[in-house]
Amino acid sequence: MDTPSPAALHEAVLDWYDDHARELPWRGPQATPWSVMVSEFMLQQTPVARVLPVHEAWLDRWPEPADLAGDSTGEAVRMWGRLGYPRRALRLHAAAVAIVERHDGAVPTTYDDLLALPGVGDYTASAIASFAFGQRHVVLDTNVRRVLARAVSGVEFPAPAVTRAERDVATDVLPDDPATAATWAVATMELGALVCTARGPDCGACPIAESCAWRGAGFPAYDGPPRRGQAWAGTDRQCRGRILALAREHDVVTQAQVEAAWPGTEQRERCLGGLVDDGLLTQITPGRWALPG
């Protein structure tokens, strides 16, 4: 099977996106750059369905970066709720503070200025620049990487980390027109989220199935390094989550409450110490903790 031309990929995927794009509050002309930025922090390793209510509540309370910057980090952690990976809340708060200090409270428009914000890496800077400002950047989230790995490179899954070869492929198929490139980025992301999924790709619904290199090769199984699982039960992540849930519900959390929530002494103490070290909890006195002020 011949490798599909970029123009053919663009037409098929963009037409599909026109018909199948989900209506999400951080998309479309009504979305503010701050809404886009908040969504990108929240959507990291978290499904859209879980993000939607938290994103809405966040924007209701802090409609601009300055609103969040003027509040405490503890309230950011509290409002983060059960999205997981709560250090993202601290990073988003720090980014809001930097936006106020460096950019007069407006989300910066350039990739370099975005990348210089706390908690913003290449993917997030590229995504905000593309989705909020219609710029031309390679946007490589998990879904996009999987679509390009299958459709262009003929493998089931991409490497655990972005490679130079993978970035070159993404650059080669990126439309030249900035606005079209920005739409291509979100369209391939949507295709990976809804059709070309990790566990059950629906090739019958895929607009580029006929030209897909992986399908044409007979769906060869992934043979790369082991892919990271998402274990939860009994992990430090679960323990930390239970302790933080107590802190969101109570002004002060006591040793007795923490012991009732997680009986394993060694793991519990390790997780408590980690939460304090990460700035997610403050120890008020021995045996008493709270969200940071």
- Compute the distance between CA of residue 265 and CA of residue 37 in angstroms, rounded to an integer: 39
Closest CA to 51 of 22, 82, 10: 82
Within 13 Å and on the Cβ side, how many CA atoms surround 236? 10
Q: Which residues contact 231 (CB under 8 A, 6 or more apart)?
A: none
The helix or strand, by DSSP H or E, that contains position 288, with its residue range, turns out to be strand 288-290
- Compute the distance between CA of residue 179 and CA of residue 133 in angstroms, rounded to an integer: 9
Strand order in the sheet with 253-254: 253-254, 288-290, 282-285
Name the residue type at position 293: G
- Compute the distance between CA of residue 103 and CA of residue 98 in angstroms, rounded to an integer: 8
For the question of residue 101 being annotated catalytic, the response is no
Among candidate residues 11, 40, 166, 266, the one labeled active-site is: 40
- Compute the distance between CA of residue 82 and CA of residue 242 in angstroms, rounded to an integer: 10
Catalogue the active-site residues. Answer: 40
